[in-house]
């Protein structure tokens, strides 16, 4: 038995099990033994495929193991963190697995190659059986689920696998967070001169990252600098508001330090790629879609492009707010709240009930732009069909949205329309104005 096989068995707390060492034969079918009895079901094998992330790219290495059928039953009965969802048959897998995934396949008499997936879900684990690795995996699972719900895309982060990153350009890397001072050494070896951290303290505390130890260790070297410029996680509006100051700090650091820059948030899938994209668009001269295409070709991620477009217009036109009124026209409820808008999906604002009109209202001033939101009525998330609704995403989910605009005939409105379009670009004068703004912007602490 190989060490890799033993590791898989240990993962499932099945060290005492003995996997079959004979290879699975393709097109294996049920047959009768010479004595006339059917072949015992234990002679069928389970094939497990483990895809392991390479620390510097999205290419995955495959390890395959084979086990007798009873192990499958044992797995299903003794893995409390896996849901009891029915198996799904699939015909193909994505080319790249950005994080660890396990797919299980059985060779049987009715399907030549039936593939089954076990979906991880959050759940309680008896403390006596919980190792530090289990805790990290559980936290990663919860974080990934929250990220998927907040960002509208299926995204996965496995903190327990360590730091992962991709070169977007020879001088620009986007990746996940550093986890220990030793990660500073790893980045120095590949020429990184600036480590640019976008995490807030709660992000670091969630995964138990000692940011002070990392910063103090980085200070012992004169060829690398660690900087922080915080952006709230899963909050497109905070990203928009913070981008000018954050990119200004990044721009000045790169001009001072040169070399390779490492931009990271927690998972390196939302905030970090957004900051990198804004820097490429504002400073490095890329057309927006060209920069986005390059970014996505190097790293599977989900930057909030509307926030970047809005931040671009904010720099060029100034930040002007407009009054907005939202309403829920049903009185048969005890509480109505709104989430999204300019407060992010992790916060809620209560609406006020108007006895005369028999409706709930929220009045708020918002900068120009498009804002998605949802109502929470007596604790239930829902949309208001009397207000604008987004098109369904690939999972079928929709949100309400409001478009805040200036006078349609104004020059500001024309610029907003151009920059918020499908293929925005900057004129030479506009890019020069943005660079001047970044240079003059007060240092962000």
Read off φ and ψ for residue 374, nearest 5 degrees. Answer: -140, 150
Whole-number Å distance between alpha carbons of 412 and 424: 15
List residues with catalytic annotation: 265
Report which of 281, 378, 287 is spatially closest to residue 332, judged by C-alpha positions: 378
Retrieve residue 377's tokens. 């009525």
Whole-number Å distance between alpha carbons of 178 and 186: 10
Whole-number Å distance between alpha carbons of 407 and 404: 10
Q: Which residue has the tokens 């992790």?
A: 346
User: Quick check: 404 and 324 in contact, CB under 8 A?
Assistant: yes
Report which of 76, 257, 57, 64 is spatially closest to residue 163, judged by C-alpha positions: 57
Whole-number Å distance between alpha carbons of 421 and 346: 28
Q: CB within 8 A of 170, min separation 6: which ones? A: 260
User: Quick check: 243 and 275 in contact, CB under 8 A?
Assistant: yes
Report which of 50, 147, 173, 164 is spatially closest to residue 98, judged by C-alpha positions: 164
Whole-number Å distance between alpha carbons of 148 and 156: 8
Q: Which residue has the tokens 């005939």?
A: 409
CA 80-83-86 angle, to 5 degrees, is 140
| Helix or strand (DSSP H, E) at 70 | helix 69-77
Retrieve residue 230's tokens. 């915080």
């Amino acid at each position: 038995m190989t060490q890799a096989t033993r590791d898989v068995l240990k993962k499932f707390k099945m060290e005492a099990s003995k996997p079959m060492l004979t290879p699975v034969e393709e097109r294996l079918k049920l047959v009768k033994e010479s004595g006339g009895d059917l072949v015992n079901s234990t002679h069928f094998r389970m094939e497990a495929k483990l895809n392991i992330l390479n620390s510097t790219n999205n290419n995955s290495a495959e390890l395959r193991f084979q086990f007798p059928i009873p192990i499958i039953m044992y797995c299903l009965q003794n893995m409390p963190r896996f849901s009891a969802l029915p198996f799904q048959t699939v015909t193909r897998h994505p080319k790249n697995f950005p994080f660890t995934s396990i797919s299980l396949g059985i060779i049987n008499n009715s399907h030549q190659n039936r593939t089954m997936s076990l979906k991880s879900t959050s759940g309680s684990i008896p403390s006596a059986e919980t190792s530090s690795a289990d805790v990290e995996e559980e936290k990663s699972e919860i974080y990934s689920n929250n990220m998927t719900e907040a960002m509208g895309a299926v995204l996965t982060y496995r903190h327990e696998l360590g730091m992962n990153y991709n070169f977007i350009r020879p001088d620009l890397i986007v990746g996940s967070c550093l986890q220990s001072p030793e990660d500073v050494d790893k980045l120095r070896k590949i020429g990184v001169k600036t480590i640019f951290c976008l995490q807030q303290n709660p992000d670091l505390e969630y995964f138990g990252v000692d940011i002070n130890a990392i910063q103090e260790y980085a200070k012992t070297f004169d060829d690398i600098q660690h900087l922080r410029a915080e952006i709230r996680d899963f909050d497109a509006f905070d990203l928009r508001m913070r981008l000018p100051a954050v990119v200004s700090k990044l721009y000045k650091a790169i001009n001072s330090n040169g070399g390779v820059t490492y931009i990271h948030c927690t998972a390196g899938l939302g905030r970090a790629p957004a900051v990198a994209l804004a820097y490429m668009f504002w400073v490095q001269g890329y057309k927006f879609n060209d920069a986005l295409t390059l970014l996505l070709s190097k790293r599977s991620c989900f930057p909030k492009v509307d926030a970047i477009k809005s931040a671009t217009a904010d720099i060029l036109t100034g930040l002007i707010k407009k009054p907005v009124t939202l309403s829920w026209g049903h009185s048969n409820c005890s509480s109505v709240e709104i989430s999204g808008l300019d407060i992010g999906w992790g916060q809620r604002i209560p609406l006020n009930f108007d006895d005369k009109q028999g409706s709930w209202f929220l009045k708020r001033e918002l900068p120009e732009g498009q804002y998605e939101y949802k109502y929470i009525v007596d604790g239930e998330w829902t949309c208001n069909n009397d207000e604008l609704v987004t098109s369904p995403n690939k999972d079928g989910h929709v949100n309400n949205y409001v478009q805040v605009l200036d006078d349609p005939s104004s020059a500001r409105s024309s610029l907003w329309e151009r920059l918020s379009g499908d293929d925005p670009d900057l004129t030479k004068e506009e890019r020069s104005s943005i660079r001047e703004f970044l240079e003059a912007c007060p240092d962000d602490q």
